[in-house]
Structure 1
Amino acid sequence: FFMNADMKLIYADLSKLLPEHEIKIVDRDTSENQLLISTYTDRSPGSMYLYQVNAKNLSKLTDFNPDIKAEELCSMKPVSYKARDGLLINGYLTLPQTKNQTNLPVIMLPHNGPWSRNSWGYNAEVQFLANRGYAVFQVNYRGSTGYGKAFLSAGFKEVGGKIQQDITDGVKWLINQKIANPKKIAIYGAGFGGFSALHGISFNPGLYQCAVVQYGLINFFTYIKDVPPFLKPYLSMTYEMVGNPEKDADMLRSVSPVFHTDKIKVPLLIFQGAKDPRANISEVNQFVRDLRNREVNVKYVLKENERTYFKNEQNRLDMYADIENFLQSNLGNKK
C-alpha cells in the first residue's frame, strides 16, 4: 500500500528494472531525485544501486558479497499446508540443486522467537544446508508475526502445544508430498527453535533421526525467573503469551525439555556460549550429563568466550563443520 502516488510509480519502475528482487529505498537527496536503493533475493545477499528518478536510470554501486554466484544457490519457495485443526500454515521450502527432487533428506528449521517469523530472502544457513544436499523447511507456525492478530494470538500459551503440532504437521506434509525421505529427517533450531528441536525429538519418537540445538531453551521456569532487568517490564506479557510459572506450572513443566531427558533417544548436537546472558549454564551442563547418563549420543560444544551467538570466526567455522559432519553421519547423506 502506497500513501504517495509518486512513490508508487517509482517502485513500479524499480520492480521492472529489478524483477524478483526485494527493493528498499534507504536514502535520498533533498530533491528526491537521486535515491539509494538496497536489494536482495533468495539467492543473493543483495546489492546497492543509485536510481535517478527523472532520468529513470539505475546504476549498480556495489554487491554485498560479489563472490556469491546466484546460479550456484537454491531457490526459496513459499508453501502452505493445513495443520491438524485446519489452520493454514505458511512457510518456505528450499530444495537442493540435485537431479532428484523427491525422497530427499530434510532439515526442519523452526525459527527463534516464537513471536517472530521466517521471511523470503537470502539466508546463508539455509544455503549452507541446501548446498549439502538437504531440503530445508522453514515453518511460520501459529504465533509467528506478519499474519494478523488472530494468528499471533493463536500461539499464546501454546509454546509446547499447537505451535509444536504445526511443526510436526509440516514434516508429515513433506512426507505425504513425497518430498521428504521419512528415514532422513533432522530438526535444527536456535533459542526457541532449539526448544522446538528438543521438543520434537522428545515427543515424536521415530519422526527425527537427530537434532541440532544452538543456545536452546530447556527450562521455561528458569528462563522466566532469570529474566534480565531490562526485560522485567515485559513479564506480564510473557505470562500471557508463554505462561505464568505459578498458575501454569503443570503446563510449563510438561513441555520443558530439562524434565524429559528420558524421552530423548536420538543423537544430539548442542552448541552453547558460556557467557550467554539468557542461559543457566550449570543447568545446561546438568541436562547434558543426564542425557549421557542415559546413554544418549550427545556432542556438547561449550565455548567459554562466546555469548548467545558465536561471533568468533574460527568458532563459527568449527560449528558449521561439526553440523555438516553430524548431519552426514546421522542422515547418511552425501551430495
Structure 2
Amino acid sequence: MSSGTESGTEAASWPAACYRELSCFPAVTRAALGATAGGQTFLLYTECSRPDLSRRRLLRFSRHYSLQRTGSGGLAVSQAALSAEIRNQLLSQDSPTGQHRAVLSRCPRLGHELLEVWDSSGRSHSVDLTALGKHGEIYTEEPFACLAWSHSETWLLYVAEKSRPKPQPPCPWDVPGAARPAEEDKDEQDERFVYHEDWGEALSTRSMPVLCALDLEGSSLSVLEGVPEHLCPGQVRIGCREIPCGGQPGAVELSSAVIQALWSPDDHGVVFVGWWHEPFRLGLSACSNRRSGIFYLDLASGHCELLSSEYCAACSPRLSPDGQRLIYLEGDLGGPHRQCLRLCMINWQTRQAVTVLDVVHEPTEAFAGLYGEALPPWCWAADSRRVVLGTAQRSRKDLLLVDTETAVVTNLTAGSPEGCWELLTFQWDLLVATCSAPHHPPSLVVAVLPPAGRELPIHWVPVEDSPAVPGVTWKTLQVQPPQSRQSPTSHGTLAFEALLLSPPDSMVLHPLIVCPHGGPHAVFDARWRPSMAALCRLGFAVLLVNYRGSLGFGQASIHSLLSCVGEQDVADTQLAVEQALSSEPLDPHRLALLAGSHGAFIALHLLAHEPERYQACALRSPVSNLPALLGTSDIPDWRYTSLGLPYSFERVPCTEDMITMLLHSPIARAAQVQTPVLLCVGARDRRVSPTQALELYRLLRARGVPTRLLWYPDDGHALTGVEAEANVFENYARWFLQHLGQPQQDGTGQHRS
C-alpha cells in the first residue's frame, strides 16, 4: 500500500497527466492540393500542430498523402511520406502549378527573416529580407498574414510593418564640449518618441502595414505605393487559379493597416479590402463590425473604385475560377462586434452587386445564417457557381453549399455525429476538411463534390481518423426561456442551447462545472476541447451555455442581449443550470463556474446573486468593472453598445454613463461573493486590462474570501501560450477538486484509490 504522501502526489499529478494525454492529438492548421498529369491523382499536403509540453512550445509538422480518383466517383487515400517537423517556419505557400513552394522563416541565430523558394531540385532562391532593410517585421497573424504567388510564378507578395527611422545614438549635446544639432536634426530624432497606434489585442505590434512584392527573376524587392490615405490595407491573398499571367504589379502604399486582396481577372488591377482608420484605430481581433469596403485599384491610372456598399463592414473577397464572379461577406457597422453576415456577389463585367444570402433574423431548421469572420481561402466549385463554407448553425458548425444563382443552401454535414466541421481547402471539386466532437479529436477527411442538384449524400473518406476518447459523453440541451424571464427589450421567447459533457457512468451524481462563453457574441460549438474532455475524465460534468446573444441562433437573438448584459445572459445561464440539474444525473450541491472574459462577467454576477449556490469558481481575464475599461480596452465602443448607449469616436463619458456601467458591473456586488475564486490573467491583455482581476483580487481578499491570482507575464487575453494553457488547466482542475471534494476517476469512470 502506498503512503499518504505518495497518494497525495499521485492525486496532484493526475490533472496534469490527464491534460497531457488528451492534448497530444494534432490539429490540422493548413492543407494544399496539387494535381498530377491526367487529373486523376492528387497530392495532399497538410500542416499540423500540437503542444509539446515537455519543451513548452508548439510542435509543428507536415504530412503528405496521395489521393486517387476511383471509377465510382470516390477516392482512394494513401500516405505518401512520413511526418516531418517544421522548424522556424512562419508562412508557406505553394505556387499555382505546385512546382514551387515559398517559405518564410526566421533564422534562430540572427533573428533575420528569410524568404526561400524550393522546387524538385532543391532551394532555388534565398533572400534575407531583414538585411535589405526596406521594411520592418513581416506580418504572420490574421487578418494580415499573407504569402501569395503571381500566376506567372515570378512574383511573391507579403505584408510587413512599414520601416521607421532607426534609434539614434545619445544626443551629442550630452557630451561635454559637443555642439548642439540643427533644428531639423532635433526634429528627426524627436520622431523616435511619436506614439504609433496599433490594432489592439493580439495585434499590438502591428501598426502601419505595407504591401511588398519580391521579383524572383529580377531579384528586387519593392514596397508598393498608392491606395487612399484614409484606408488601411494589409492581408493580401492571390488566388492561384484566378491570377492571369502578367508583368510587374502596380504600386500601392498601404498606410497603416489591413488588406485582403487578389489580382483582377485581366491583371490590370488589384481587388482589396480597405479598413477606415480615422480618427483612431479600434481593436480588430474578433470584431467584424469595423468599417471596411471592397475596392478595385487600377494599376495603370491609379484610380481606386469602391465596389461594395460605402457604409458597411466587408471582407473576404474570393474570385470564381472563371474570373466572372466575386463573392464577399458583409455586415452592418457598429453594434455587436460579431453578428450575422450577408453573402454578397459582384458581377465582374458589369460591377453589379447583389445579395446572395441576407441576414437571418430568426433561424429555420434548414438555415440559421452566416457567422464566420472569413470565407475559406479556396471555396469555389469548379463550375464557378457553387460555394462551400463553414459556419455556426446553433451549437454545431456545419459545411454549407451555396448556389450563388438560386441562393439555395444545402447543409453537407447536417445530422453527422461530429459537431464541428472545418473546411481547409476546396480545389478541383475536392473537399478537404476536419471534423470533431466533444468526445472525438479532429479527423482529416476528403470528399468529391457531386454534380449540382445531386450533392447529397456526400461520401467522406477518412485520411487520418482519430479514435473516440473513452470517458466522455455529450448531448445538446434545448432551453426555452419562460415569458416571465424576458427582459423588456427581449425579442419574444428566443430559444437557446447548452452542450452537456459528462462521464459515462449514469449511476453517479456528477459535480457540474458551468461555462458561459465569452464574447459575448461567440458560441460553444460541439468541437473537440482537450481541457473539457479532461475535466470529464476527472469525474466532472461540464455545461457549455450558449445563452441568448450567441452566434448561430439568428440576428434577433444577438440583438436581444444589447442593453441586457448582466441580466439576460445571467438569467439564461442559471436557467440552463436548473434544467440540466432537473433532467440529468448531476449533484446539485457540487456546482462550480469556469469562464473567461464576458463569461467571467456572467459568472461573477451569478456568485453575487446566489452566494451559496456555487462551491468554486475559476475565471480567466475577467470583466468586472465596466467603466474602468473605457480607458484601458482596445474596444471602448463595446462598453456603450452592450448597455444600449450610443457610441461615437468623439464621445466623452458623462456621469449617467458611468453610473449605468457601474450598476451593471459585478464589482458593484462583490460584497455578496462568498465562493472561493481562482483568477488567471495575462499581463499583456489589451482587451480586458489585468487590473480588472487585480482590483477584484484585492477586494475579495480583504473580505476574507479564499482567492488566488495567477499572473502570466508573456500572455494576452486568450491565455493560449502552450505553457500558460496547460498551467491554467492544472490549477483550475486542482481548485475544483479541492473545493468540490470530487473523487478522481480514470478514463472508464471508475474511482481511483
Interval containing the TM-score (normalised by the shorter chain): 0.7 to 0.9
Following the alignment from structure 1 to structure 2, what is the Cα–Cα distance between the partners of residues 308 and 198? 18
Q: Which has the larger radius of gyration?
A: 2
Partner of 2:641: 240
Counterpart check, 1:259 vs 2:668: yes
Partner of 1:156: 562
Following the alignment from structure 2 to structure 1, what is the Cα–Cα distance between the partners of residues 730 and 423? 37
SS in 2 for 1:284: helix
Partner of 2:444: 48
Counterpart check, 1:279 vs 2:688: yes
Quickly say closer, same or farther: Cα 1:277–1:174, change in 2 above 3 A: same
Counterpart check, 1:36 vs 2:432: yes
8 A Cα contact 1:197 1:212, kept in partner: no
1:117-142: CA deviation from partner (whole Å, max 9, x where unpaired): 22122222221211111111111111
Counterpart check, 1:179 vs 2:585: yes
8 A Cα contact 1:199 1:255, kept in partner: no
Following the alignment from structure 1 to structure 2, what is the Cα–Cα distance between the partners of residues 238 and 285? 20
Following the alignment from structure 2 to structure 1, what is the Cα–Cα distance between the partners of residues 561 and 624? 19
Alignment of 1:138-149 (within 5 A): 138-149=544-555
Following the alignment from structure 1 to structure 2, what is the Cα–Cα distance between the partners of residues 200 and 172? 13
Partner of 1:308: 717
Shift of 1:265: 0.7
Quickly say closer, same or farther: Cα 1:207–1:26, change in 2 above 3 A: same
User: Aligned match of 2:522 in 100, 116, 124?
Assistant: 116
Quickly say closer, same or farther: Cα 1:21–1:144, change in 2 above 3 A: closer
Shift of 1:98: 2.2
Following the alignment from structure 2 to structure 1, what is the Cα–Cα distance between the partners of residues 689 and 667? 12
Q: Which amino acid aligns with 1:29?
A: Q
SS in 1 for 2:726: helix
Q: Which amino acid aligns with 2:498?
A: G
8 A Cα contact 2:632 2:686, kept in partner: no
SS in 1 for 2:630: helix
Following the alignment from structure 2 to structure 1, what is the Cα–Cα distance between the partners of residues 421 and 724? 33
User: Aligned match of 1:76 in 456, 474, 479?
Assistant: 474
Higher normalized helix content (fraction of residues): 1
Quickly say closer, same or farther: Cα 1:28–1:319, change in 2 above 3 A: closer
Counterpart check, 1:333 vs 2:724: no
Shift of 1:300: 0.8
Quickly say closer, same or farther: Cα 1:176–1:225, change in 2 above 3 A: same
Following the alignment from structure 1 to structure 2, what is the Cα–Cα distance between the partners of residues 59 and 307? 39
Following the alignment from structure 2 to structure 1, what is the Cα–Cα distance between the partners of residues 470 and 673? 37
Following the alignment from structure 1 to structure 2, what is the Cα–Cα distance between the partners of residues 243 and 220? 14
Counterpart check, 1:89 vs 2:496: yes
8 A Cα contact 2:516 2:573, kept in partner: yes
Alpha-carbon RMSD: 3.0
Following the alignment from structure 2 to structure 1, what is the Cα–Cα distance between the partners of residues 516 and 691? 26
Quickly say closer, same or farther: Cα 1:256–1:28, change in 2 above 3 A: closer
1:278-310: CA deviation from partner (whole Å, max 9, x where unpaired): 233344323211211111100111122222233
8 A Cα contact 2:445 2:461, kept in partner: yes
Aligned pair count? 319
Q: Which amino acid aligns with 2:548?
A: R
Partner of 1:250: 659
Following the alignment from structure 1 to structure 2, what is the Cα–Cα distance between the partners of residues 26 and 317? 27
Quickly say closer, same or farther: Cα 1:279–1:27, change in 2 above 3 A: closer
Counterpart check, 1:209 vs 2:615: yes
User: Aligned match of 1:298 in 682, 707, 715?
Assistant: 707
8 A Cα contact 2:679 2:693, kept in partner: no
SS in 1 for 2:464: strand
SS in 1 for 2:516: coil
Following the alignment from structure 1 to structure 2, what is the Cα–Cα distance between the partners of residues 105 and 125? 16
Quickly say closer, same or farther: Cα 1:207–1:49, change in 2 above 3 A: same
Shift of 1:26: 3.2
Higher normalized strand content (fraction of residues): 2
Partner of 1:62: 464
Quickly say closer, same or farther: Cα 1:267–1:40, change in 2 above 3 A: same
Counterpart check, 1:270 vs 2:270: no
Following the alignment from structure 2 to structure 1, what is the Cα–Cα distance between the partners of residues 577 and 424? 38
Greater shift in the superposed pair: 285-294 or 265-274: 285-294
SS in 2 for 1:157: coil
Following the alignment from structure 2 to structure 1, what is the Cα–Cα distance between the partners of residues 422 and 431? 10
SS in 2 for 1:323: helix
Shift of 1:71: 4.0
Counterpart check, 1:199 vs 2:608: no
Quickly say closer, same or farther: Cα 1:218–1:204, change in 2 above 3 A: same
8 A Cα contact 1:81 1:89, kept in partner: yes
TM-score between the two structures when normalised by the length of structure 1: 0.83
Counterpart check, 1:134 vs 2:540: yes
Q: Which amino acid aligns with 2:628?
A: T
**Sequence identity, in percent?**
20
Partner of 1:165: 571
SS in 2 for 1:109: strand
